[in-house]
Structure 1
Amino acid sequence: MDASGDRMLGLLVRCRFDTGDLAMFTGHGTVDWEGVTYLGAGQMLSVGEAQTTSGEGIPGLSITLAGLDPEVVALAELEEFQRRRVTVFLALFDETGQIETADVLFDGVADTMESDDGPDTATTTLALEPRSMALGRKFPCYYLPEDQEKRFPGDQGFGLVQAIQNREDTWGRS
């Protein structure tokens, strides 16, 4: 991306939680990108340097929100955040403050959250790990009706497996 002239670079952060998306950027006001409205967090939003969060040497990232109301921090701690997708974009803004283009800088999942309820201001830091970390994890899946129901709600196909397994058929006999 070319950042010449009156253009500026900024970061867009999109967190996909169960209760809805949280979309912020390192500016003021609101901007739209690919159908998502990002709220300006200004200096309160910071993205840390990529750092290793696992023994395999795969770099993670951290996002910090400062200046939060302690009630907001308490609500954030109640949210199911682990394994939820988080995408950070590097955006190029034009002279009017609108996004010209944006590229994915980091695409990962939320790992841990730390909160600091200081006397002056409250901060929350969300540690992220890359989505590629899931490739090395084992996710057991068995051919049971319960597993099929989790993956495909309403599918009752595996409910017939037991009946088929114990069935005595006479194929090709007269």
Structure 2
Amino acid sequence: MEFDDWLAMQDKHATPHMTLGFTFYFKSETMHVWPGRYSLDAGSRVFLGANATGAIGSISNLEFGYGRPKETTTLVMSGLDQRYFALAENQDSEVRGRKAEIFILAFGTGVLGEEWKLAAVSLEATREMDKLSSSLNHDEGTSTITLTMQPLGSMRWRPAHGLITDEDQRARFPGDRGLERVGLVQYSRPLDFS
């Protein structure tokens, strides 16, 4: 069922049952997770729940819509298996710059007894993974993984003016002076090459 069809059939006085699902395209594998307990079959993908991967503990700065500021999305997960910690150790090759998708998972088909049956999946946002860090709380005996994501194209993990340097440009195109003052371009100042 399409998400719009599911939304249209909802009773305007009822509370719709929805949650988030995530797909992480790591270099070595693709993971589909959701904050539920069991695996959830969505047709083309199976979202793994806490029994298979661990629990998604908290999500912060998750914004949808157009014209929003470029916010960092942070996803905190705990009770995870060793795969995530191995990914955190090799994050430069496994995580940074790779795609992550955020879905809304809608439940309830309108039939009595099927209130928690998956009815629709809607892709709401695509992000670029930036950093996967792990931490251990010795007092509580828990370990967590924190995944930081950026909007596509934000490239905040790159250094300022780190896309093309003057030296790179001159090596590729001798005599070209177009990027000599690239720092001024972002502030829309007129450039004087005389």
8 A contact 2:49–2:55 mirrored in 1: no
How far apart, CA to CA, are the structure 1 residues paired with 2:101 and 2:137?
A: 28
Alignment identity in percent? Answer: 17
TM-score by length of 1: 0.64
Gaps of 5+ in 1: 52-56, 144-174
Aligned pairs for 1:19-98 (under 5 A) are: 19-41=28-50, 44-45=55-56, 46-50=58-62, 57-68=69-80, 71-72=82-83, 74-79=85-90, 80-94=94-108, 95=114, 97-98=116-117
CA root-mean-square deviation = 3.1
Gaps of 5+ in 2: 64-68, 109-113, 156-160, 173-194
TM-superposed deviation, 1:106: 2.3
For 1:135-156, what per-residue CA distance to the aligned partner results, in whole angstroms no more than 9, with x for missing partners?
A: x98478999xxxxxxxxxxxxx
For 1:104-161, what per-residue CA distance to the aligned partner results, in whole angstroms no more than 9, with x for missing partners?
A: 2321111112211112100010000011325x98478999xxxxxxxxxxxxxxxxxx
1:15 aligns with 2:24: yes
Q: Which has the larger radius of gyration?
A: 1
Count of equivalent residues: 136
TM-score by length of 2: 0.58
Which residue, 118, 131, 134 being the options, matches 1:115? 134
**Per the alignment, do residues 74 and 12 of structure 1 end up closer, same or farther by CA in structure 2, a change over 3 Å counting?**
closer
> Which protein has the bigger strand share?
1
Question: Tell me, what secondary structure is at the counterpart of 1:75?
Answer: helix
4+ residue runs of structure 1 moved beyond 4 angstroms? 3-7, 136-143
1:129 aligns with 2:138: no
> Which protein has the bigger helix share?
1
